[in-house]
């Protein structure tokens, strides 16, 4: 059972998909205080444009009653300014923590160097898939995956892998944006819709506590 659970987590990590923008030409030489939030809002706006585009939704999601309803729920936050932003730092021992929780420490002992770096990058970017898959439900996961949006930037000095929840009061959807190093000099920001309050859900909080920590 433990092996199947970890295998499922790895499968979710490998199945991250999204619409990708071009490499951003302008990137700061160092990380300004609001760089993460500014880019997170930009990614949320780009994703919101997809959710608000009826032709895109029909083409990639279909117009079934359930999926259309989820798309409408997500589109409602398009263009809104977040009322609250929660920021989490990806822990350097995240994979070890996850493996230890399932008593599979031997998994991490076989990873080193580039392999470990690659897994950590994918794990950081997989938060949305993990939360949507285990809390949102299969249909929510499918719709959110179709609307996911990514952008790649030149990595600024002082970059820290992290995740931001953009929260909108009174809305059923929130936006999760992950920033992860995906190359020697590049950073990828990945935006996806999650259910509002997923960070307080028992299962969602378990994942956050295992692999992420609040970022001041």
What letter would DSSP give residue 42?
H
Give the residues across from 178 on adjacent strands.
163, 190
Is 177 contained in some domain? yes
pLDDT of amino acid 19:
44
CA-nearest of 67, 48, 36, 49 to 168 is 48
Is 12 contained in some domain? no
Q: 149-174, pLDDT tens digit by residue? A: 999 999 988 899 999 999 999 999 99
**DSSP H/E element including 178:** strand 173-181
**pLDDT above 60 for 10:** no
Is 209 contained in some domain? yes
Is 103 contained in some domain? yes
CA-nearest of 211, 202, 179 to 192 is 179
CA-nearest of 190, 141, 138, 132 to 161 is 190
Mean pLDDT score, 188-196: 94
Is 23 contained in some domain? no
Q: Which residues contact 46 (CB under 8 A, 6 or more apart)?
A: 21, 149, 151, 191
What is the band of 1 on the pLDDT scale with cuts at 50, 70, 90? very low
CA-nearest of 148, 143, 98, 147 to 119 is 98
Mean pLDDT score, 163-191: 93
Domain tally, the chain: 1
Is 119 contained in some domain? yes
Is 191 contained in some domain? yes
Is 168 contained in some domain? yes
Domain encompassing residue 133: 33-214
Return the number of other C-beta atoms located less than 10 Å from residue 99's C-beta: 20
pLDDT of amino acid 30:
46
Q: 82-114, pLDDT tens digit by residue? A: 999 999 998 877 666 666 666 666 666 666 667
Mean pLDDT score, 31-48: 87
- Distance in angstroms (rounded) separating the CA atoms of residues 18 and 72: 19
Confidence (pTM): 0.80
Mean pLDDT score, 179-208: 90
């Amino acid at each position: 059972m433990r092996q199947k659970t970890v295998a499922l987590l790895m499968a979710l990590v490998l199945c991250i998909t999204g619409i990708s923008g071009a490499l951003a030409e302008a990137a700061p030489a160092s990380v300004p205080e609001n760089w993460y939030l500014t880019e997170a809002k930009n990614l949320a706006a780009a994703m919101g444009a997809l959710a608000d585009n009826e032709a895109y939704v029909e083409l990639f999601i279909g117009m079934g009653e359930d999926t259309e309803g989820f798309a409408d729920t997500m589109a409602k936050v398009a263009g809104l300014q977040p009322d609250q932003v929660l920021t989490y730092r990806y822990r350097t021992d995240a994979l070890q923590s996850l493996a230890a929780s399932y008593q599979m420490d031997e998994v991490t002992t076989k990873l080193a160097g580039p392999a470990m770096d690659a897994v950590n990058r994918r794990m950081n970017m997989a938060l949305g898939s993990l939360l949507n898959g285990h809390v949102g439900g299969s249909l929510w996961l499918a719709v959110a995956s179709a609307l996911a949006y990514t952008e790649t930037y030149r990595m600024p000095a002082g970059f820290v892998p992290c995740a931001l929840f953009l929260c909108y009061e009174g809305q059923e959807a929130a936006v999760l944006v992950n920033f992860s190093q995906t190359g020697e000099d590049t950073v990828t920001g990945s935006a996806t819709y999650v259910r509002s309050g997923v960070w307080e859900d028992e299962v969602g909080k378990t994942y956050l506590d295992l692999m992420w920590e609040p970022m001041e």
